């Protein structure tokens, strides 16, 4: 996720005056947030007003192009509070504590007189919730305090350079503060600045906007949430989420699968920066994962097909056909650990494909990935007059040997 044209435009648009907003809020760190994302800003009314100015006004009221003589970029608080209208005699833009006398409110709600120009922004003024945010700020005294709910510090909220995706993106992904407190429960700005005002359309459902997108396009790492380009969390993502000797596994085999940035349990959850594993919905429902050893246990998928008896570590890669269950070369002791009459048949020289012909046609590669490690053994007799009932009984002749309702076990 690299800066692009959008950011250069945005930087020009969003350039802030640092002398006004000088508390330098924070340089990383934070307490992990945890608030529930309400979008009301009783103690942060000026935060909301600054956000509105940033997103709705600066295109025409920047320092370089102050329409109507009004510069809302250099020092927006001083330009508004107690300031006479540059154009309309007798008007004060903001009278602290007095909404009726504040000309700004008339302009943004479109209630200015006929000879007092147009509604701001043109053509019809602000939405009702934004007008309300400005009215609240004026009614509460039009202070220049913008309080960080996490640290209690005041002033401009974000430090210099925060618009850089590598900075604010990381803080969002690691949930170092609760963005939804001020940018709206749905990040669309609430009364203020929407994350959508800079991001490309569709970012909320673009799974490679924040992670993944390197070896596969599903959103699974490599490219971790820390922007590392090797998959240090779980080295085998691509092996799992792409078709191999198995169908491509969905994220839901191992994780909850979010559909959107705001999905429950996704990034704005109570365990910041940590990918929740929930094997319950997958083929290996009781699996457990040890991140320190990068190993899995209690796995069906890496087991011998007879239960949750597999385990694997990243060091076991690459796997061969006999890593999880015996293969054609394993020998009698190993075949004996397979179910029922495997050992009898394999000892007689039968091959896997004679009974599992849809899955493998040679015993060394998988012909139909969707049938392999799909939760059930698939039986397909290759060219013999044998059939198997749903109760598992075999009838027919194979290699000259007659079967009549023979049980596998």
Query: With left for phi above 0 and alpha for psi between -120 and 50, is residue 229 left, alpha or beta?
Result: alpha
In the bound state with ligand HEC, the residue whose beta carbon lies nearer, of 97 and 232, is 232
Tokens of 281: 């919905």
In the bound state with ligand HEC, the residue whose beta carbon lies nearer, of 141 and 401, is 401
Omega prior to 227 cis, within 30 of 0: no
Shortest gap between Cβ of 142 and ligand HEC (angstroms)? 14
Angle CA(378)–CA(380)–CA(381) in degrees, nearest 5? 145
Report how far residue 369's alpha carbon sits from residue 157's, in angstroms, rounded to the nearest whole number.
53
Report how far residue 392's alpha carbon sits from residue 82's, in angstroms, rounded to the nearest whole number.
88
In the bound state with ligand HEC, the residue whose beta carbon lies nearer, of 141 and 382, is 382
Residues 376-405 touching ligand HEC, rule: CB under 6 A, are 376-379, 392
Report how far residue 20's alpha carbon sits from residue 74's, in angstroms, rounded to the nearest whole number.
8
81 binding ligand HEC? (CB under 6 A): no
Give the dihedral sign, CA 351/356/362/364: negative
372 binding ligand HEC? (CB under 6 A): yes
94 binding ligand HEC? (CB under 6 A): no
225 binding ligand HEC? (CB under 6 A): yes
Task: Please check whether residue 252 is in contact with residue 259, taking contact to mean a CB–CB distance below 8 angstroms.
Answer: no
Interface with ligand HEC (CB under 6 A), residue from 79, 94, 105, 108? 108
407 binding ligand HEC? (CB under 6 A): no
Report how far residue 57's alpha carbon sits from residue 69's, in angstroms, rounded to the nearest whole number.
13
Task: Please check whether residue 23 is in contact with residue 156, taking contact to mean a CB–CB distance below 8 angstroms.
Answer: yes
Task: Please check whether residue 282 is in contact with residue 253, taking contact to mean a CB–CB distance below 8 angstroms.
Answer: yes
How many alpha carbons lie under 13 Å from residue 343 in its C-beta half-sphere?
A: 11
Residue with tokens 């007659």: 402
Interface with ligand HEC (CB under 6 A), residue from 32, 37, 273, 369? 273
Shortest gap between Cβ of 264 and ligand HEC (angstroms)? 9
Interface with ligand HEC (CB under 6 A), residue from 92, 99, 109, 224? 224
Q: Which of 196, 220, 228 is nearest to 1 (CA)?
A: 228
258 binding ligand HEC? (CB under 6 A): yes
Interface with ligand HEC (CB under 6 A), residue from 77, 92, 94, 237? 237
In the bound state with ligand HEC, the residue whose beta carbon lies nearer, of 138 and 165, is 165
In the bound state with ligand HEC, the residue whose beta carbon lies nearer, of 124 and 339, is 339
251 binding ligand HEC? (CB under 6 A): yes
CA dihedral 389, 390, 391, 392 (to 10 degrees): 60
Interface with ligand HEC (CB under 6 A), residue from 118, 280, 307, 331? 118
In the bound state with ligand HEC, the residue whose beta carbon lies nearer, of 67 and 97, is 67
From 94-102, 136-144, 195-203, 399-407, span contacting ligand HEC (CB under 6 A): 195-203
360 binding ligand HEC? (CB under 6 A): yes
Shortest gap between Cβ of 31 and ligand HEC (angstroms)? 12
Residues 285-344 touching ligand HEC, rule: CB under 6 A, are 289, 291, 301-306, 319, 321, 323-325, 327-328, 338-340, 342
Interface with ligand HEC (CB under 6 A), residue from 79, 142, 207, 214? 207
* Count of C-beta atoms within a 10 Å radius of residue 110: 14
Residues 151-180 touching ligand HEC, rule: CB under 6 A, are 156-158, 162-163, 165-166, 168-169, 171-173, 175, 177-179
Shortest gap between Cβ of 97 and ligand HEC (angstroms)? 18
Report how far residue 94's alpha carbon sits from residue 85's, in angstroms, rounded to the nearest whole number.
9
In Å, how far from its chain's centre is CA 88?
A: 49
In the bound state with ligand HEC, the residue whose beta carbon lies nearer, of 87 and 141, is 87
* Count of C-beta atoms within a 10 Å radius of residue 313: 12
From 94-102, 135-143, 191-199, 399-407, span contacting ligand HEC (CB under 6 A): 191-199
């Amino acid at each position: 996720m690299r800066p692009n044209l959008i950011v250069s435009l945005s930087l020009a648009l969003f350039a802030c005056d640092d002398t006004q907003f000088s508390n330098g809020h924070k340089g990383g760190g934070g307490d992990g947030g945890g608030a529930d994302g309400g979008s009301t800003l009783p103690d942060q009314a000026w935060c909301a007003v600054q956000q509105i100015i940033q997103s709705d006004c600066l295109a025409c009221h920047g320092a370089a192009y102050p329409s109507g003589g009004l510069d809302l970029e250099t020092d927006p608080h001083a330009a508004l509070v107690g300031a006479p209208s540059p154009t309309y005699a007798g008007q004060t833009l903001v009278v602290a504590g007095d909404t009726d006398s504040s000309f700004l409110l008339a302009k943004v709600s479109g209630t200015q007189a006929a000879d007092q120009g147009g509604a701001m922004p043109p053509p019809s003024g602000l939405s009702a919730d934004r007008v309300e945010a400005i009215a609240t700020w004026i009614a509460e005294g039009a202070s220049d305090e913008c309080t960080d709910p996490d640290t209690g510090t005041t002033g401009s909220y974000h430090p210099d350079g925060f618009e850089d995706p590598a900075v604010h993106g990381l803080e969002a992904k690691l949930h170092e503060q609760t963005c939804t407190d001020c940018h709206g429960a749905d990040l669309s700005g609430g009364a203020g600045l929407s994350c959508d005002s800079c991001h490309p359309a569709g970012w909320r459902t673009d799974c490679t906007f924040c992670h993944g997108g390197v070896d596969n396009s599903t959103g699974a790492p490599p490219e971790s949430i820390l922007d590392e380009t090797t998959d240090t969390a779980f080295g085998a993502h691509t092996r799992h989420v792409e078709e191999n000797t198995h169908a491509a596994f969905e994220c839901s085999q191992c994780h909850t699968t979010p559909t959107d940035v705001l999905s429950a349990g996704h990034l704005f959850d109570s365990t910041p920066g940590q990918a929740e594993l929930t094997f319950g919905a997958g083929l290996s429902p009781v699996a457990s994962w040890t991140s320190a050893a990068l190993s899995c246990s209690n796995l069906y998928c890496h087991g011998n097909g007879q239960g949750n008896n597999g385990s694997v570590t990243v060091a076991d890669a690459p796997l061969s056909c006999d890593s999880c269950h015996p293969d054609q070369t394993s020998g009698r002791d190993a075949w004996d650990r397979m179910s029922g009459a495997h050992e009898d048949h394999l000892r007689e020289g039968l091959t896997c494909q004679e009974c599992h012909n849809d899955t493998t046609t040679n015993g060394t590669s998988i012909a139909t990935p969707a049938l392999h490690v799909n939760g059930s053994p698939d039986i397909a007799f290759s060219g013999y007059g044998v059939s198997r009932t749903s109760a598992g009984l075999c009838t027919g002749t194979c290699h000259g040997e007659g079967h009549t309702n023979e049980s596998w076990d």
